Amino acid sequence: MHAALLDEAHRAIENKLPERGHDYRLGYHLSPPAGWMNDPNGLVFFRGEYHMFYQHHPYSAQWGPMHWGHAKSRDLVHWEHLPIALAPSEPYDRDGCFSGSAVVADDTLYLIYTGHQWLGETRNDDQIRQVQCLASSADGITFTKHGVVLQTPGDPSIMHWRDPKVWMRDGQWWMALGARQGDDPQLLLYRSADLHHWEYLSCALQGRREQDGYMWECPDIFELDGCDVFLYSPQGLKPTGYDNWNLYQNSYRTGRLDDSGHFNPSGELHELDHGHDFYAAQTLLAPDGRRLLWAWMDMWESPMPSQAQHWCGALSLPRELSRDGDRLRMQPARELVALRQSQTLLQVDEVASASHVLDVQGALLEFELELDLEGSSAERFGLALRCSEDGQERTLLYFDATARRLVLDRQYSGAGVSGVRSVPIAPGQTRIALRVFLDRSSIEVFVDEGAYTLSSRIYPRPDSLLASAFAVNGTGCFGAMSVWRLADLQI
């Protein structure tokens, strides 16, 4: 039955491909061939290749019964779509193969995922059953389901219990699960010798609704530079100041995970990315020891104009993680320099209360530049990107001297989207180093070697291709600027 449902899903994709629109189709980010995409799952390195699985609905560009889409890459740049790996086919996962992870044991690729069931006649989050399931593959393409390996906890107040992240620690497999006990979030840990039989270890961390939200989705625990990191996606956090303005967040805390399974935080809660569209981040330990991260580059209940073109959803660029005290830094994976095509060197210097059109245009570009704060007097200065010739469309990235913040403004970034996001610039800081990636419907900004990032979807018209440097109420000083055209891979 599972094989037949996979064939049916594949045919649905094939039937949609001729109708798929390309106005917003990303050139070098991973997105589904057609249909819907959300969380990345099952990031794994298997037989010399990186494998990326993702939450996928092949039958429409809206969220629906979750399948596991599948792609692979040798270099983190060129991705090949593979057949869908998992489809809802059994009583225990009939309404969705939800998020999870992948590991390699004895040269076999294992997927661990949440099987989801709606218990009522209508889809109601208060009437669900979730179990943890196992599947395996000898070739990394065709998967055999092994059924439920972990039943729902006996506590009747825990109904939401999902997104297993599995890793090896001291010769045994550990599993982290996000749970909701009543209205409070929990991080639960389990342990196994063989991936099939699991024992409960502990509630590693207990949250409270008022300050921690009501659910911690997509947990990930890993060691980085001598410290443990708990990465997760809290739901229900209230906006405070400049933080937590998306519907849901991606957050992390540093600390120590002890052998009894308790996570002892030593750092404060931090937002992982400060853009409009970033959720469900997951990491992978690369063969060379780097900790790589991807996230879903969209946000629930946000405008998604590509749905009208029979596809929806994308993943962020792969990022390398490092630690700076209790904070994480994220920089573009070094392999991404392979995307660079022709380079343009621009010497903008000073822009005085005006706009200076740059001698470069395009939808797929990478910018590398510095903003000179010490030499500038402008109230605001920075870049206007993906601009239309009539000035009606533009995405702004600028330093606000009054607030001392770097601002990403997509009020006029195209169809459907709006909103402003920003990150702080420390008092006394004299320069801001920026690395900016533009794709047809996205922008990713890396600030000061990854101290902050801002990732957002934008939906300008295909002919909105201009870029300019601007300053408001004074002079803005720009360092040397390098711009590369990037390869259009149409992944």
Distance CA 71, CA 63 (A): 19
Told to judge if 39 belongs to the known catalytic residues of this protein, a careful annotator would answer yes
Unique residue bearing structure tokens 């009501």: 214
Unique residue bearing structure tokens 């449902």: 5
Distance CA 160, CA 237 (A): 17
Burial 171-210, CB ≥16 within 10 A → b, else e: eebbbbbbbbbeebbbbbbbbbeebeebeebeebbebeee
Distance CA 488, CA 383 (A): 23
Burial 14-40, CB ≥16 within 10 A → b, else e: eebeeebeebbbbbbbbbbbbbbbbbb
Q: What's the burial of 213, exposed, middle or buried (CB within 10 Å: 0-12/13-18/19+)?
A: buried
Q: What does the block give as tokens for 408?
A: 């990403």
Distance CA 199, CA 471 (A): 60
Say whether 183 sits in a helix, a strand or coil: coil
The rounded radius of gyration (Å) of the Cα atoms in the chain is 23
* Catalytic residue selected from 7, 23, 39, 75: 39
Q: Distance of CA 458 to CAs 286, 336, 418, Å?
A: 30, 21, 9
How many alpha carbons fall within 13 Å on the CB side of residue 460?
32
Q: What does the block give as tokens for 250?
A: 């991606």
Distance CA 300, CA 165 (A): 22
Strands (E), 325-393: 327-332, 340-346, 349-352, 355-357, 365-372, 380-387
* Residues recognised as catalytic: 39
